[in-house]
Structure 1
Amino acid sequence: MTGRKIAALVGTMVIALGIGSSANASGDDKAEFARILKQQYDAWYEENGAKFAATFHKDADMVTFNGEHLSTRKGIAEGMQYYFDNHIPASQLKLVDEHLRYARRDLVVIVRTTCIVETTDCRDGSLSRNTNVLSKRDGKWLQESFQNTRVDPLPPGVVPVAEPKAYTGSIEQIRQRQEDSWYEEDGAKFASTFSKDADVVTFNADHLRTRDGIAERMQFYFDNFINKTRLKKLGEHVRFVGRDLAVVVRTGCQLVPPSTECRPDSISRNTNVLVKRDGKWTQESFQNTRYVPIP
């Protein structure tokens, strides 16, 4: 794999802070988020996997640009050190945009757009988007999950749909409803599994905001780009943070009916963050990345 691809594995290292909606955070929280970002930036520059991983909770999950799943702080440290030692060239990354949203007072979803800087400008083709989910445990913010995807723009457009009604259920019921809506090419049904203010980052790094935005953009995809396929679950890693927060990392592929075999090059990995409210689960964020193994 080229240095250009590997350098975009992680997009949270920044040169400047304070743009986007981070103004919604309190002063203390902003300082903590800035501390985490700076530590990651320093770790990248120093090529220090352990220092990078220290910004995550001990049991955290990370999905890299190429769809690799690094599990636990120890696994993140070892995986990142391997990348630093073998693939990542000396480089800096720049924050281009940031969208910050509190799912609850101790859980924040931050979607960032970043690029690689070799001189003073973003290098062509280096734009990526990542979802960072941070939780506050015992008074301290750290990352629960992180996933990065290279930006591959599709034409703008939405299909107006009626506001989807919220759907809540078990984690398995939510997964099944999403798979059904994919096969039925129903954007509103797909979006109904998300909270009203949720964030989705697609396989091409398109950022869909709110349940309405997810419904309209997914319907546009179904109508114009997504062939009639079924989703197949290949693997699942479920981690509960207390009783009302779940981080689910799934590996899946697409089937072209009536075939039961994965379509070539369709294997992907996604991170799903779900919150339980009033005894029912709903999704707060979702991001998908194509899986491309590296040596």
Structure 2
Amino acid sequence: MKGSKVAAMAGAIVMTLGIGTGPAHATGSDQAQFARILKQQYDAWYEEDGAKFAATFTKDADLVTFNGDHLAGRDGIAKGMQYYFDNYIPTSKLKVLDEHIRYAERHLVFIVRTTCIVEPPATGCRDGSRSRNTNVLSEKDGRWAQESFQNTRVDPLPPGVVPVREPKAFSGTIEQIRQRQEDAWFEEDGPKFASTFTKDADVVTFTADHLRTRRGIAERMQFYFDNHIDHTRLKTLGEHTRFVHRDLAIVVRTDCQLVPPATDCRPDSVSRNTNVLVKQGGKWSQESFQNTRYVPIGQPGTQDVAGS
């Protein structure tokens, strides 16, 4: 079942860990481990080996594919990826086009990459295969592993921002952050939406636009609200919350949009997002967010759209 249509869809599932120079304080040991993860995932993709691919993740990791499927846990990632390899992904290689590495703290790294698929013997990117992914890695006992991954197909919007002042930081409970973001969405207030993020946070939108820093998030979100986003409310359909430790939470949430006064989801508006939050001084803030439109293709090992 490896037809061209399915191959084009599967192409944007690209899940790779490319290695760049990294931040100045990255150690040689970090770089070596990042390179090991890269090679293992690269080889696993080409060999179509789901278990080998999943082995680079922590036991309870979360992975959201380009079509919004949520693969939960290392076993779920292995089963889901093997299903993709066996049914949808043609033999191919991965290519890293760009990457942004950020250490939120010494043992927590965020890597946002732009990637594509190459089908041998070609050496260039296959048309329509560019995607952007957020990779969250944690270090424990000197060893790095992936805690979460989400991928979104690149569908660029025109450039533009609305200049704003640096938003004042907002922190609170995880629920308070979610509510403030939903209120900001309905009010079409970019700075209010951005205020829930840390100063250097990363956001990847459902079109795979990469917004960097709290101010950058505010300016680009205001541009979206003013030019591209209809007046809608957000509705949470399901939530999967995992505490990596007491000060680090990963929330995979399924949402849709409501067009007031309607109370049902607008057609084709269901999406799934990964939210990474850190706790400092007893309050939570958001370090990264990525959203992907949910288009189910049906495979084992996934969380259902309304599930937790």
TM-score range, shorter chain: over 0.9
* Distance in 1 between residues matched to 2:16 and 2:168, nearest whole Å: 34
Match of 1:5 in 2: 9
Q: How far apart are residue 94 of structure 1 and its match?
A: 0.3
Q: How far apart are residue 10 of structure 1 and its match?
A: 2.9
**TM-score, with structure 1 as normaliser:** 0.97
Question: What secondary structure sits across from 1:241 in the alignment?
Answer: strand
Q: How far apart are residue 208 of structure 1 and its match?
A: 0.2
Q: How far apart are residue 18 of structure 1 and its match?
A: 2.5
Match of 1:211 in 2: 214
Change in Cα spacing, 1:41 to 1:13, as seen in structure 2 (3 Å) is farther
The answer (yes or no) to whether the contact 2:17–2:37 under 8 Å persists in 1 is: no
Q: How far apart are residue 8 of structure 1 and its match?
A: 2.2
Alignment pair present for 1:25 and 2:26: yes
Alignment pair present for 1:199 and 2:216: no
**TM-score, with structure 2 as normaliser:** 0.93
Match of 2:175 in 1: 172
1:230 to 212, 228, 233: 233
Q: How far apart are residue 156 of structure 1 and its match?
A: 0.2
The answer (yes or no) to whether the contact 2:14–2:115 under 8 Å persists in 1 is: no
Q: How far apart are residue 25 of structure 1 and its match?
A: 2.2
Q: How far apart are residue 13 of structure 1 and its match?
A: 5.4
The answer (yes or no) to whether the contact 1:22–1:99 under 8 Å persists in 2 is: no
Question: What secondary structure sits across from 1:124 in the alignment?
Answer: coil
Question: What secondary structure sits across from 1:264 in the alignment?
Answer: coil
Question: What secondary structure sits across from 1:183 in the alignment?
Answer: helix
The answer (yes or no) to whether the contact 1:40–1:52 under 8 Å persists in 2 is: yes
The answer (yes or no) to whether the contact 1:13–1:92 under 8 Å persists in 2 is: no
Match of 1:277 in 2: 280
Q: How far apart are residue 137 of structure 1 and its match?
A: 1.6
Question: Could you list the runs of 5+ residues in structure 1 that have no partner in the other structure?
Answer: none
* Distance in 2 between residues matched to 1:13 and 1:287, nearest whole Å: 17
Q: How far apart are residue 23 of structure 1 and its match?
A: 5.5
Q: How far apart are residue 95 of structure 1 and its match?
A: 0.2
2:142 to 123, 128, 139: 139
Match of 1:61 in 2: 62
* Distance in 1 between residues matched to 2:17 and 2:168, nearest whole Å: 37
* Distance in 2 between residues matched to 1:8 and 1:125, nearest whole Å: 8
Q: What is the root-mean-square deviation in Å for CA atoms of aligned residues?
A: 1.1
Question: What secondary structure sits across from 1:2 in the alignment?
Answer: helix
* Number of residue pairs aligned between Structure 1 and Structure 2: 292
Identity among equivalent pairs (%): 76
Question: What secondary structure sits across from 2:13 in the alignment?
Answer: coil
Give per-residue Cα distances to partners, 1:193-215, cap 9 Å, x unaligned. Answer: 00000000000000000000000
* Distance in 2 between residues matched to 1:33 and 1:158, nearest whole Å: 34
Match of 1:291 in 2: 294
2:224 to 196, 221, 241: 221
The answer (yes or no) to whether the contact 1:11–1:115 under 8 Å persists in 2 is: no
User: Partner letter of residue 162 of structure 1?
Assistant: R
Change in Cα spacing, 1:174 to 1:205, as seen in structure 2 (3 Å) is same
User: Partner letter of residue 83 of structure 2?
Assistant: Y
* Distance in 1 between residues matched to 2:154 and 2:62, nearest whole Å: 21
* Distance in 2 between residues matched to 1:84 and 1:39, nearest whole Å: 16
Give per-residue Cα distances to partners, 1:21-65, cap 9 Å, x unaligned. Answer: 455522111111111111000111111111100000000000001
Q: How far apart are residue 151 of structure 1 and its match?
A: 0.3
The answer (yes or no) to whether the contact 1:11–1:129 under 8 Å persists in 2 is: no
Alignment pair present for 1:102 and 2:106: no
User: Partner letter of residue 261 of structure 2?
Assistant: P
Give per-residue Cα distances to partners, 1:99-125, cap 9 Å, x unaligned. Answer: 000010000000000011121111222
The answer (yes or no) to whether the contact 2:236–2:254 under 8 Å persists in 1 is: yes
Consecutive aligned runs of 4 or more in structure 1 exceeding 6 Å deviation: none
Question: What secondary structure sits across from 2:132 in the alignment?
Answer: strand
Q: How far apart are residue 11 of structure 1 and its match?
A: 2.8
Match of 2:71 in 1: 70
Give per-residue Cα distances to partners, 1:133-161, cap 9 Å, x unaligned. Answer: 00012221000000000000000000001
* Distance in 1 between residues matched to 2:171 and 2:34, nearest whole Å: 30
